[in-house]
A and B are shown apart, each in its own frame.
Chain A
Amino acid sequence: MKTTHHLDEATLLRYASGDLDSAFTIVVAAHLAMCDECRQAVRDAEEIGGHMMDHVDEAPVASDAFEKLMARLDTGENEQIEVDLRKNAQSDSDVPLPLRELIGEHLDDVSWRLVAPGVRKHEIRMGKKGESFLYMLNISPGMAVPEHGHGGAEMTLILSGAYRDKLGVFGPGDVADLDEHIEHQPIVEPGEACICLVATETPTRFKDLISRLMQPFVRI
């Protein structure tokens, strides 16, 4: 799959350092599942972590630390994990691996709720309160993708279909990794519905009074 819209470089570093919350981690991981180029970029970013750890001032460990670990090995409960790559390779799933645990193996099996004409939504429950939202949108051809950033950062990954905005055409695997300053109005391309995975920051403040007043109406 050839993707043309990739992750922001600051996002790659945040993912590699473990700084993203659950919702954004899932969207990034799902993009990485579809994008060889960004996986290479993450490997490079993880080398940064390796280098930094290599140059840290060492902290002394307990004098019996190694013996303790060996004793745990001797219980026989800590056998080495064998490499087993069949899980993904044998699947006929059209859902990226990091998302399968949350929505199942097939996009067709997702249950949708109509939230506006031509717009269906599937919410994915995340663990904690106050964390970013994660959900999927299923938007009919020719329809506008509703405004959903609520003034915070948002990240949208296309799973099937395509939309177009001023940044270009976004197809399967493409990610719109936008901060709050970018205004855009995507329109779904003719032909098939566009299914995308979206993470948005919990709204903390509204940009201005107008959007505060509009919030109850445009909220999806």
Chain B
Amino acid sequence: MRSALNLAQNDEDTDRVDDPTLLKQAMVRVAKEQDRDAFHFLFSYFAPRVKAVLLKAGSSESQAEDLMQDVMMTVWRKAKLYAPERGSVNAWVFTVARNARIDLLRRASSRPYDDVYEIELESDVASGEDEMFETERAERVSEALAELPEEQRQIIELGFIEDMSQSEIAEKLDLPLGTVKSRMRLAYGKMKSKLEAVR
């Protein structure tokens, strides 16, 4: 594990971690042993991505740096709440960053999201599944997104990364709101049909 971590850390040019189990193993070590080396690995990987997302969502440079610090602090503090059998580390960190965006940029509350996550953790629907199930689902989602036509992928990216609302997307792309919604549904439908094979 340690050598794998070092390898990934030294290889600064190929920043994508191809093996999602490396990220999961690091999360487990942070949760179980408060392992700071494992956390450093996660930080090197996620901090620049989280900051990029915050910048794209409209934060200033210094605000994005501060918020990124808060998000990564939350990743450390909530590490024990990450459940490997329920999804990828990427998706979990995305939700931590999303919730921070809601709390800090929108001045709304992410509390309902926390409540749902708590219910999720105590529900036994997914807990009996092995990790492979969720890992495979995450892979299928990536596949489906890679195959999306540009007009659908763009709408997903504007919503998930640039934090734009449906109506803002409609305005930016000069499309009727109904078209934005139907493209979202089409994109979701493609993902769903890929996932049905896993279900």
Contacts and interface: CB of A to CB of B under 8 A. Distances in A.
Contacts of A72: 69, 73
A85 B188 contact: no
Give the bracket for the number of chain A residues in contact with chain B.
35 or more
Contacts of B119: 32-33, 39, 88, 97
A29 B78 contact: no
Interface string B83-112: 000111111111101110110000111011
Contacts of B112: 25-26, 28-30, 98
* Chain A interface, DSSP helix/strand/loop, else mixed: helix
Residue of B53, B73, B87, B91 with highest tally of chain A CB at under 10 A: B91
Nearest to A100: B115
Given A49-B160, A59-B55, A44 B111 contact: no
Contacts of A108: none
Interface residues of B, number: 84
A78 B125 CA distance: 32
A191 interface: no
Contact of A83 (B50, B56, B80): B80
Given A65-B68, A80-B31, A87 B184 contact: no
B5 interface: no
A104 B85 CA distance: 32
A168 interface: no
Interface in A95-146: 97-98, 101, 127-128
Interface of A: 8-10, 12-14, 16-19, 21-22, 25-26, 28-30, 32-33, 36, 39-40, 42-54, 56-62, 65-66, 68-70, 72-73, 78-83, 85, 87-89, 97-98, 101, 127-128, 179
19 contacts: A10-B188, A13-B184, A13-B188, A14-B166, A16-B160, A17-B98, A29-B115, A48-B156, A52-B145, A53-B97, A53-B160, A53-B161, A65-B68, A68-B69, A80-B31, A88-B122, A97-B118, A98-B116, A127-B107
Interface of B: 15-16, 31, 34, 36, 40, 43-44, 47-53, 55-56, 64-65, 68-69, 72-73, 76-81, 86-95, 97-99, 101-102, 107-109, 111-113, 115-116, 118-123, 125-126, 134, 137-138, 141-142, 145, 156-157, 159-161, 163-166, 181, 184-185, 187-189, 191-192, 195
